Structure 1
């Protein structure tokens, strides 16, 4: 099998986490959250592409999400992947350009599939068949896009125009591409029957897309080339050069596809873009009244409603609701009309202007070594639940304004305080005086769980001096 017989997925993991708030937030956007099953959309995408016979993926994400992406890749067993980090998101054209430049130095004829990390596909066998059909066309130097037959006038998608309605799933040339039309135009497109939704999946050889970017988006390509040339290694990641921030912020649709010719493969695989609570409702099992319940949730005399609680200790009950999404997390509740997508963004903006941490931050803070959650916060004290993964190790650090008490609940802890080192097990505790250099590590095979009590005049996360860190954080 030659290198051109394999498809290298380019998985785009951008986004700011507003449309599916409060489950999705800036600190952990929707592609990394569990939305329609046990895994995240990112993990579902990884498995789907692996099952379709694709090669190891190239993942492009923001530097802030590098450890979340790496953890979820490891959970799926993905090997041989590359994770490219953007310091600042510049839309899909810049991300695709980086992937293409990266691939050109190794194999210009490599087939590349651009795949967003937040899509739902019900029929994975049909999806794999569509990829195979597209690959046969893309090997001949064509850009292939995948189109979905629309069932409504949607203004949030791009549309692909054909010369006649698509009677089957055979690849065919498209006439033109339109990104996110207004409602009247979208209604006319759907009524005419000659338009498909753009599923956000693009298949091409590196050489073909490089030429298209050179013609239509030379500034984007130039910034990407410089960013790859000045990239640096950071543990298992590749940090792209800062010049990428100078690239025009354009979607691939606007930068290239509106000016290019190519082929479209109709995709009949139960595709959906997980971009609103309505689409989550559509892809969640519903009863005869159209009610979908997730977590400790019950409905009484409700129709076409989504009830969801992400906290096992908080129950939600809906009574007499119609076309409503009621979403509950440990620290926030959203109640909205299912038809309102833009309104969720406005809700996040309202929370942000009010200065609420819930607008962007989850109560649970993810770290490369594990995670922590604040259980209680008051004047001069804070209580946290901390979980350290097997082999995880916090930085060697000190604090200027707080002391800490650690109580081990489960597992084993290796604790460094000054020049001494000790091993603690369940029900043992230790005191870290203010200003003392210290470190916590999990040398065991099971997660380390502990309770931390902080006391002092200032308890912010920025009261930290790091002396050594295996995760290369400042």
Structure 2
């Protein structure tokens, strides 16, 4: 019998270990790391269809419109999108979703899944979820354990009971959670055959989880309950109240609940999984060729072995010659080169770039907004050139600037431009000038994307030089609102 499952997609991480493709402004779950869809889209698709309700998503303010846009591209409707005022780790996020779901159905089954993992065999994973559902309905907290394929030091482990079966197709008795081990301990655990990787995927009823928080983490339950109770709706999003949320402990669901609860079971899974926790994992999951190389369409390997060469920009051809065990990733504004054995140190590079004030540490070249996206092409002392892409039917806010004027040249589609009290249509190869201080708006009234080149001139060109008067996306003031 198929049991109805309510997916919860956790979508708030920064993904610094996959820099430069993943950055704080556009983390890895939204990027196309493997395949034609983003990791978030793959997760949403994997947990949709028969037996699955529309997903609930927990994310941050800056990503709320990206979530809707990527779901819409896969024709998936969300049940709810909860906006965290700030990241507080997984325990508060999961609890908030459970409280919202319990308002309608306390016995509803929740499947908690990170949105940035790779699970190639979606059918096998859905079957494993269904196999664990009856135990979860009975009140157990189910965690999913991955059959280890190597002595990995980057994952936490789950120790099974002596009489448990590590490759069973039903939930097994869990003894304890084990922290990330050193190399010797990881090798011992792999050899024992009695340990599974901790995937960070969980299944339980909403009421069972809430009861667990009441018993083991009341300091988390109180402020999260208040944040949900005082939440408000904003354009279909649910904004958790920032006041109570500020008092929520920063703690993972493993530490808050799973390592303390007694009603635990583990569902073994062996059909393939990766958290893509580094470029070495991407190399492995992408499928190296007979020489062990993985290359993108704009990369070439000559006499290389066991190497990842990846260029994200059609104007940047990446060539490796005589390389072994090397990772090289190029974007339009940054290049990473590392030995594959040092892949986990990429976050050190991000920290070093932050220290020196490099915008590449956190800001992606393409800046995504609810109406589309833009990228800076040239930046000078008192000027900047951007390419701006506006989705069909979308509109920027009615705004003005204190420090810059703008010149817009439409190169694709048609723009409706309002300057003060005058509105006009600007077609391909036509242009318009926006004087400093003028109240203006840009819209795409057409059925196809509109693209224009913007030339800014002035004493200050920062994105926070925006005064919004009207905005269909209710973003308020600030660079993104």
- Structure 1 residue 399: Cα displacement: 1.0
CA contact (8 A) 1:127 1:268 kept: no
**1:395 correspondence with 2:401:** no
1:170-249 equivalences in 2 (<5 Å): 170-242=170-242, 243-249=244-250
In the alignment, the residues of structure 1 paired with residue 317 and residue 241 of structure 2 have an alpha-carbon distance, to the nearest angstrom, of 47
**TM-score between both structures, scaled by the size of structure 2:** 0.95
CA distance in 1, matches of 2:78, 2:330: 38
Contact 1:406/1:451 (8 A) holds in 2: yes
Q: Quick check: 1:420 aligned with 2:422?
A: yes
> RMSD of the alignment, in Å?
1.4
TM-score normalised by length of structure 1: 0.97
Alignment-derived partner of residue 294 in structure 1: 296
Residues 137-162 of structure 1: CA deviation (Å, up to 9, x unaligned): 21111111111111223233221111
Q: 1:51 deviation in Å?
A: 4.1
Q: Which residue in 2 is equivalent to 1:166?
A: 166
How many positions carry a matched residue from both structures? 472
Cα displacement string for residues 220-257 of structure 1 (whole angstroms, at most 9, x for unaligned residues)? 11121011011111112111011223111111111111
Partner of 2:110: 112
Please tell me whether the aligned partners of residues 179 and 253 of structure 1 are also in contact (alpha carbons under 8 angstroms).
no
Secondary structure (helix, strand or coil) at the match of 2:123 reads helix
**Whole-angstrom CA distance in 1 between matches of 2:168 and 2:468:** 60
The alpha-carbon distance between structure 1 residues 221 and 341, as it changes in their structure 2 partners (threshold 3 A), is farther
SS in structure 2 of the partner of residue 174 of structure 1: strand
C-alpha displacement of 1:188: 2.6
Runs of 4+ in structure 1 deviating by more than 3 angstroms, as ranges, are 181-185
Change in 2 beyond 3 A, CA 1:197/1:37: same
The answer for the alignment partner of 2:411 in structure 1 is 409
Q: How does 1:335-414 map to 2 (within 5 A)?
A: 335-414=337-416
| Partner SS, residue 256 of structure 1 | helix
Q: How far has the Cα of 1:462 moved from its partner?
A: 1.4
2:124 is the counterpart of 1:126:
yes
SS at match of 2:465: coil
Aligned equivalents of 1:418 and 1:382: distance in 2? Answer: 23
Where structure 2 has 5 or more consecutive residues not aligned to the other structure, the ranges are 477-481
The residue aligned with 1:63 is 61
Per the alignment, in what secondary structure is the counterpart of residue 40 of structure 2? Answer: helix
SS at match of 1:434: coil
> Are the aligned partners of 2:56 and 2:78 in contact in 1 as well (CA < 8 Å)?
no
Q: Secondary structure at the match of 1:444?
A: coil
SS of residue matched to 1:416: strand
Match of 2:254 in 1: 253
Structure 1 range deviating more: 432-441 or 51-60: 51-60
Provide the rounded CA distance (Å) in 1 between the counterparts of 2:186 and 2:48.
34
Residues 157-212 of structure 1, C-alpha deviations (whole Å, 9 max, x = no match): 22111123524323211112223334443333222211101111100001111111
Determine helix, strand or coil for the equivalent of 1:226.
helix
CA distance in 2, matches of 1:305, 1:129: 35
Q: 1:432 aligns with which of 431, 434, 439?
A: 434
- What corresponds to 2:317 in structure 1? 315
Aligned position for 2:271: 269
Residue deviations 1:306-334, cap 9 Å, x none? 11000011111111111111000000000
Residues 414-448 of structure 1, C-alpha deviations (whole Å, 9 max, x = no match) = 11011111111111111111111111001110011
Which secondary structure does the structure 2 equivalent of 1:280 belong to? Answer: helix
